[in-house]
Amino acid sequence: MTIASMFSGCGGSDLGLVGGFSFLGKKYKKLPYDIVFALDNDAKAVETYNYNFNVPATLADIETFDIKNMPDFDVLIGGFPCQSFSTVNPTKNPFDKRGKLYKRMSQILSTKKPKFFIAENVKGLVVLQGGKIFEDIKKDFAAQGYIVKHKVFNAADYGVPQKRERVFIVGIREDIAFDFKFPEATHSEYGNGPRQWVPLKKVIDSLIPENPKYYFSKKAVEGMKNAKKNMKRGLSQSLEGPSLTITSHLAKVSLNSRDPVLLVDEKKEIYRRFSPLEAARIQSFPDSFKFPVSDASAYKQIGNAIPPLLMWHVASALAEQAKEKIITESHSIRKHSVRPKNVVLS
């Protein structure tokens, strides 16, 4: 099936769709998808995307890009911007300029009529304003001729070394509709052996970084100690469990923030941030995926990405069930077809 990727970023979702990569020693097979179009408005993200994929992404604003210039495709994917749907600031207008961008996905569905779509967003979208906004978005997608289902995932339940909760919305065009079932979890917090959540120590080679620039200054540590008690402070991560959610703020992460950090030496009060390589691993990017940009750009792209491994599980489930639907319908057509008797073909 052919793919059109909106808000493609550096390509986390797209890598998960095509598959054929290894993560923590396990091979994730290639999936039956081919990317034919990708678009993002961040030049540095497009640079990373084009370094890693054969089909180059288009650098453009989705609001002004002419949908008619897109090739035909079978599946539309997109993690439409989520900052407007965060529950951190419930008084913020959720339908600011970024919050309305999901409507462009809806317009693409209306114009191009692909067989399927996969959309992703923050968990907060589901509960914002009592769930009304989320239901309106689903109705908008459904109005374009799709059966719409959703599920909130924790990436840690699928082998990603990070507690990251996101909602996935899957749409199936009404004329080919079937009861899509989201993939079952492969890991759990209290599982045994390989089924247990992947701990951070699997992707952190050493607490001592190769480059001292990742250490926090003494001034930053003192600032943390003097901060208000009600502030989130020094969220140092245990290496024995998954990381807390990493964000696009990794480049300017603070010890007085909600961003996870590493405690190198408790007695000496030495903290550090993740390196870009470590952050990419926490998001389940394989080491073969490169970020040919500055650390600041890499952090932003990694924090904004959909974990490839999580997308791989969703995309794999869709591919298998779509194939089964096609095979079942094909058998049914052959079984019930009526062949005329004694027809002479001239």
The residue whose two tokens read 């004329």 is 175
What ranges do the domains of the chain cover?
A: 2-188+293-333, 200-282
How do residues 72-105 score in pLDDT, each as one tens digit? 999 999 998 855 555 555 555 455 455 578 899 9
CA distance 52 to 30: 16
List Cα–Cα distances, 206 to 209, 215, 239, 246, 276, in angstroms: 7, 13, 10, 19, 14
**Mean of pLDDT over the chain:** 89
Q: Considering the entire predicted model, what is its pTM?
A: 0.89
Question: What is the arithmetic mean of pLDDT over 250-260?
Answer: 84
Sheet holding 58-59, edge to edge: 58-59, 34-40, 2-6, 75-78, 116-122, 165-173, 146-154
Does the annotation mark 82 as catalytic? yes
Specify the pLDDT at position 96: 47
Is the pLDDT reported for residue 345 higher than 50? no
Q: Work out whether the CA dihedral 286, 291, 294, 300 comes out positive or negative.
A: negative
Specify the pLDDT at position 325: 79
237 Cα distance to chain centroid: 22
Specify the pLDDT at position 42: 97
Specify the pLDDT at position 227: 76
Task: Provide the CB-side half-sphere exposure for 290 (13 A, CA).
Answer: 7
Q: Which residues fall within 8 angstroms of residue 150, CB to CB, at 6 or more apart?
A: 126, 134, 138, 167, 168, 169, 170
DSSP class of residue 246?
P
**H runs (alpha helix) in the chain:** 12-18, 43-52, 102-112, 124-127, 132-142, 218-225, 276-282, 295-304, 308-336
The residue whose two tokens read 């089964």 is 324
Confidence of residue 192 (pLDDT cuts 50, 70, 90): confident
How do residues 206-234 score in pLDDT, each as one tens digit? 999 999 999 999 999 988 888 766 555 67
**Which of 138 and 231 is assigned the larger pLDDT?**
138
**Which of 246 and 192 is assigned the larger pLDDT?**
246
Specify the pLDDT at position 90: 56
CA distance 190 to 6: 36
Residues 241/200, Cβ–Cβ less than 8 Å: yes
Other CB atoms closer than 10 Å to residue 253's CB: what's the count?
A: 22
Q: Looking at 18, 46, 77, 82, which residue is catalytic?
A: 82
Specify the pLDDT at position 332: 54
Closest CA to 276 of 255, 258, 302: 302
Domain 2-188+293-333 indexed as CATH 3.50.30.10: no
Is the pLDDT reported for residue 59 higher than 70? yes
Residues 274/244, Cβ–Cβ less than 8 Å: no
3-state secondary structure 180-195: CCCCCCCCECCCCHHH
**What is the share, in percent, of the chain residues with pLDDT greater than 70?**
87
CA distance 74 to 2: 5
Specify the pLDDT at position 329: 65
Closest CA to 272 of 217, 225, 231: 217
Question: What is the arithmetic mean of pLDDT over 296-319?
Answer: 97
Lowest pLDDT segment from 14-28, 138-152, 223-237: 223-237
Residues 115/81, Cβ–Cβ less than 8 Å: no
User: If residue 40 lies in a helix (H) or strand (E), which one and from where to where?
Assistant: strand 34-40
Instruction: Name the 3-class secondary structure at 128.
Output: helix
List Cα–Cα distances, 37 to 105, 119, 310, in angstroms: 14, 16, 21
Beta bridge partners of residue 38, listed in sequence order: 5
DSSP 251-312: GG--TTSSS-BEEEETTTTEEEPPPHHHHHHHTT--TTS---S-HHHHHHHHHHSPPHHHHH
Lowest pLDDT segment from 3-7, 196-200, 328-332: 328-332
